[in-house]
Amino acid sequence: MKSMWLNGGPGDSVSGARTEVRDPANGEILDTVPAARAEDVDVFVAAAAKAFPRWSGSVANERAERLHQIATRMREHQDALIELLTREEGKPRVENEEEIEWSANTFDYYAELGRHEVGQVLPPGASTQFNFTLKEPYGVVACITPWNYPIMLLAWKLAPALAAGNTCVVKPSELTPLSSLYLAEHCLADLPPGVVNVLTGTGPEAGEPLVAHPSVAAIAFTGSLATGQRIASLAAPQMKKLHLELGGKDPMVIAEDAEPEKAARALAYSALLNCGQVCTSTERVYIPRSRASEFTEALVEHVRSLRLGHGLQAGTDIGPMIDERFLAKVEAHVEEATAQGARLLTGGQRPESPTGGAFYVPAVLSGVDHSMRIMREETFGPAIPLMEYDAFDEAIALANDSQFGLGASLLSSDPQRIKRFFQGVQAGTIWINDPLTDNYAGPFGGMRLSGGSRELGQEGLDEFRTTKHVHWDFSTEPKDFWYPYD
Ligand code: NDP
């Protein structure tokens, strides 16, 4: 029976309603959390609003120390956090070790970046004038996170938001609230009360009133396109600052010069990491027709060797999907593609011995095209559709033929092809030979329907700061261009 996190301590919902959190690998109930509603949102936002003047008024060095302290606490509590993440989200332990390390490092990174500068001095228009900008916090920020990287995607919001001087109300996914609550209790408890509050509940019941609350100045959201569009419409009447990280349909182009075995490993990793439930998962693959059978055979052999299991079980490569709803979508995409003429080369079904969890044997398909949903809509699961191309320019055009623009990968050692790719492909991140690797200093985000915001890097801090320009004239003499006009 977990409580929410309010004003630096436990907080419960007014109604007392609760929801269950389950292990996606076997359906076991892990715990229950409060199911917050609008009346709770008022209390949580009030706590963050009350904490704002003091936190935003603290000096950047003090905030830097607090952020480093959060990183230290995360490392002290990493074993428990990793186990909890593995149980509630399902991906293999090793992937959660990486998630926690990344998240702790993100707090360290923004601790330093946050005290580097708070604006710029600008060239004045006259010698009596002084012009500068001030980068100021927005106020209360709502941080709404999805289930696939519950701690890392929270850290990407919380660390820059706090470094900039904002206070926060966090709303994790109803599927994975336990790790966020653990983080609050064990790693954020040294913050002044109210600076971070964690509210649990569903999107419609808790998320919507949070987004629409008049005291929430900015919304930092990672999740699906449909929810992002809903949030944007709710925030529009008050013209709130929006920071939206939405879905993707990332392409990978394998160039003719790539080596099949190495390409198979890079592709399987980028398509099947976290069971394909990564916003930047490779979801469309373009292979050269001249070498299609070599690449396909190497991929199928490698994918068949991967082991499904509980994320805590040693040797597991791929865990379960988060939930039956998401599995059903992958099944529908694969079944529709095969009905339209695609060939299923391996996988594409549930395992023979059911475990009670949402497991799916990774599918590899050939003979797909852009008329199929599996090449147009986000699948968000373990399916790898392969499409053949003749000329490299055709592959670039196919990579760009999407409403999304989050990431794109290329496997090649040819500088000419690489340059054509990173200049020609419209995506927020371009990976050459190392798909899905992030860099704290490298801005991460999308183009087109993937949302235009950026996390990480200087851009990730600036998303949580508004710019004020100060124009100061030392002279109090009336200007000759003021009324009356001659
Ligand atoms: P959802 O959009 O369903 O949910 C994300 C969060 O929003 C959850 O906390 C959810 O709450 C909440 N929410 C849902 N409806 C509303 C609403 N009407 N108002 C306010 N909040 C709401 O996404 P998923 O959790 O299913 O995550 C998967 C999606 O996230 C994929 O589309 C993926 O591409 C995207 N994603 C994008 C990333 C990026 O950086 N661009 C990174 C990772 C994922 P609850 O679930 O509790 O109802």
Residue 401, pLDDT above cutoff 90: yes
Q: What angle do CA 340, 226, 323 make, to 5 degrees?
A: 70
pLDDT, tens digit, for every residue of 296-342? 999 999 999 999 999 999 999 999 999 999 999 999 999 999 999 99
pLDDT of residue 78: 98
Residue 164, pLDDT above cutoff 80: yes
Which ligand 1 atom is at minimum distance from the Cα of 326? 26
Q: How confident is the model at residue 352 (pLDDT cuts 50, 70, 90)?
A: confident
Which of 91, 95, 205, 222 maximizes ligand 1 atoms within 8 Å of its Cβ, making it the mutation to test the pocket? 222
- Of the candidates 12, 10, 32, 13, which has an alpha carbon nearest to the alpha carbon of residue 22? 32
Residue 57, pLDDT above cutoff 80: yes
pLDDT, tens digit, for every residue of 429-444? 999 999 999 999 999 9
pLDDT of residue 486: 81
Mean pLDDT of 265-277: 98
Q: Is the CB of 280 under 6 A from ligand 1?
A: no
Measure 277 CA to ligand 1 centroid, in angstroms.
12
CA 232 to CA 244: how far, in whole Å? 9
Q: What angle do CA 378, 463, 274 make, to 5 degrees?
A: 35
- Cα 77 to Cα 130, 158, 199, distances in angstroms: 48, 18, 21
Mean pLDDT, the chain, whole residue set: 97
Which ligand 1 atom is at minimum distance from the Cα of 406? 41
Residue 355, pLDDT above cutoff 90: no
Measure 245 CA to ligand 1 centroid, in angstroms.
9
Is-contact 156 105, C-beta < 8 A? Answer: no
Nearest CA to ligand 1 atom 38: 279
Mean pLDDT of 277-299: 98
Nearest CA to ligand 1 atom 46: 173
pLDDT of residue 353: 74
Residue 354, pLDDT above cutoff 80: no
Measure 223 CA to ligand 1 centroid, in angstroms.
3
| CATH placement of domain 250-432 | 3.40.309.10
CA 26 to CA 311: how far, in whole Å? 11
pLDDT of residue 470: 98
- Of the candidates 14, 6, 56, which has an alpha carbon nearest to the alpha carbon of residue 464? 56
pLDDT of residue 286: 99
pLDDT of residue 169: 99
Residue 17, pLDDT above cutoff 80: yes
Measure 235 CA to ligand 1 centroid, in angstroms.
16
- Element of type H or E holding 340: none
Whether 245 is a known active-site residue: answer yes
CA 245 to CA 172: how far, in whole Å? 15
Q: How confident is the model at residue 410 (pLDDT cuts 50, 70, 90)?
A: very high
Asked if residue 484 has a cis previous peptide bond (ω within 30° of 0), the answer is: yes
CA 295 to CA 281: how far, in whole Å? 19
Asked if residue 192 has a cis previous peptide bond (ω within 30° of 0), the answer is: no
Reduced to 3 states (helix: H, G, I; strand: E, B; else coil), residue 123 is coil
Measure 464 CA to ligand 1 centroid, in angstroms.
20
Q: Which pair of tokens denotes residue 365?
A: 């398909």
CA 316 to CA 319: how far, in whole Å? 7
Is-contact 184 155, C-beta < 8 A? Answer: no
Residue 246, pLDDT above cutoff 90: yes
Is-contact 388 231, C-beta < 8 A? Answer: no
Match 């509210």 to its residue by tokens.
199
Residue 14, pLDDT above cutoff 80: yes
pLDDT, tens digit, for every residue of 444-455? 999 999 999 999
Residue 356, pLDDT above cutoff 90: no
Sign of CA dihedral 453, 421, 285, 321: negative
pLDDT of residue 126: 96
**Which one from 95, 205, 279, 455 is the annotated catalytic residue?**
279
pLDDT, tens digit, for every residue of 45-55? 999 999 999 99
Rounded to two decimals, the pTM is: 0.97
| CATH placement of domain 4-246+451-470 | 3.40.605.10
DSSP 361: B
Residue 255, pLDDT above cutoff 90: yes
Is-contact 271 382, C-beta < 8 A? Answer: yes
List beta partners, residue 144. 171, 221
Q: Is the CB of 406 under 6 A from ligand 1?
A: yes
Nearest CA to ligand 1 atom 42: 279
- Of the candidates 47, 54, 274, which has an alpha carbon nearest to the alpha carbon of residue 169? 47
Residue 20, pLDDT above cutoff 80: yes
Q: What does the domain layout of the chain look like in residue ranges?
A: 4-246+451-470, 250-432
